[in-house]
Amino acid sequence: MYDCIIVGAGPAGATAAYHLSKAGYQVLLLEAACLPRYKPCGGGVSPQIADWFDFDFSPAISVKVHRVRYTFNLEDPVDVDLPEDQALWMVRRDIFDHLIVQQAQARGTTLRDSTRVTGLDNLGTSWQVQTNRGAETGRFLIAADGARGSMAKWLGFGQRRYQLAAALEAEPRLEVPTEPVVYFDLGLLQRGYLWNFPKADGYSIGGGVFRSGPQRRQDLRTPIAHYSTQFEIDASEVKHFGHPILIWDGPQILHTHRAVLAGEAACVVDPFTAEGIRPSIFSGLKAAQAIATALQGNDQALAGYTEIINQEWGAEMRWARRLARLVYQAPGLAYRVGVKRPSSSRTMVKIFCGQLRYAEVAQRAIHRLTTGLILE
């Protein structure tokens, strides 16, 4: 009998496992893939996450980036230099995720990778988790199996609130410049943006459609191929990876009987930037704290987890969603009155690094954008 069974060894699940095991609880971490496993992802990580752990992430950081370059339709570049405390971490998810898992194991987590969950049985005071390698029993569950996982459905979360977005990425392995730069283009892709995130041994080039509201299907391959030529990359020679993104779309219930959702299963992705790693880790941390409190006898702890995510994360995402609607509705205007203002770009980096909150700046930004739309 485990104190908690966690399904999914991504950033949310691994974080929850680490903190629960560190607190002395018996944790089983189940992962369908064999670790370390490849995960298509831009791999941009906020340095803020270091505040939530007591170990060194250096082994998992491919490069630290001190410069961001924005373009609109590949023109009118804007460069932003970042101080050391805001340098963006670029990681490869197989290495990054596995590091947190290994740290959790060092604290006592039992890992079962190559283990696929096939069903759940509610035993009243515990859960029995059916897997392809037999059944396991735990007092509590954390479902952190991502956008494509089945745990939310099996636990009865049929009405999660989210906007379904799409991303397509390619990862050519090439020599990169000594001084790596993160690139964003706001004009080539409708209702989204294109990116190029450098690693020590190559790039993650991709595009995503993130605007809230009804969306038409659109071709991502063509703009990504066009964008890739700017970096002397032939996209036709590189394998592409498409994946859905569950973007936060308002308050929702994230707990049920002795179980919670965390990570992208909880739809915590930022609706403006599509940042997913930091919010997933945040949700994993808060899920671990809630489960620990529940194990100590507090029968309101899991409801408290829902409240915390809705208030501490969801309130911020309400402002992010408002910004997204305006920016992706009028990207040219957003570029002129937003990105091209040096203070605006520095502000967004501070938000990504956890040094500012959307609520502190979004009202001014929305006013500027709305005024620009009226004048046009």
Predicted confidence (pLDDT) per residue in 13-26, tens digit: 999 999 999 999 99
pLDDT at 216: 58
Q: What is the CATH number of the domain that holds 223?
A: 3.50.50.60
CA–CA dist 209, 227 (Å, integer): 15
**Which H or E run includes 15?**
helix 11-22
| Mean pLDDT, range 298-302, rounded to an integer | 97
Residues β-bridged to residue 135: 130
Q: Across all residues in the chain, what is the average pLDDT?
A: 91
The CA–CA distances, whole Å, from 34 to 37, 142, 281 equal 6, 20, 21
- What is the SS3 assignment for 23-46? CCCCEEEECCCCCCCCCCCCCEEC
- The domain of 28 spans 2-375
pLDDT at 162: 85
Contacts of 313 (CB under 8 A, 6+ apart): 248, 268, 279, 282, 283
Helix or strand or coil: residue 335? helix
Q: Which of 174-178, 288-292, 329-333, 354-358 has the lowest mean pLDDT?
A: 174-178
Alpha helices in 64-121 (DSSP H): 93-106
Tell me how many domains the chain contains.
1
pTM of the model: 0.93
Q: How confident is the model at residue 347 (pLDDT cuts 50, 70, 90)?
A: confident
| Mean pLDDT, range 301-307, rounded to an integer | 98
pLDDT at 67: 93
Q: Is the pLDDT of residue 94 over 70?
A: yes
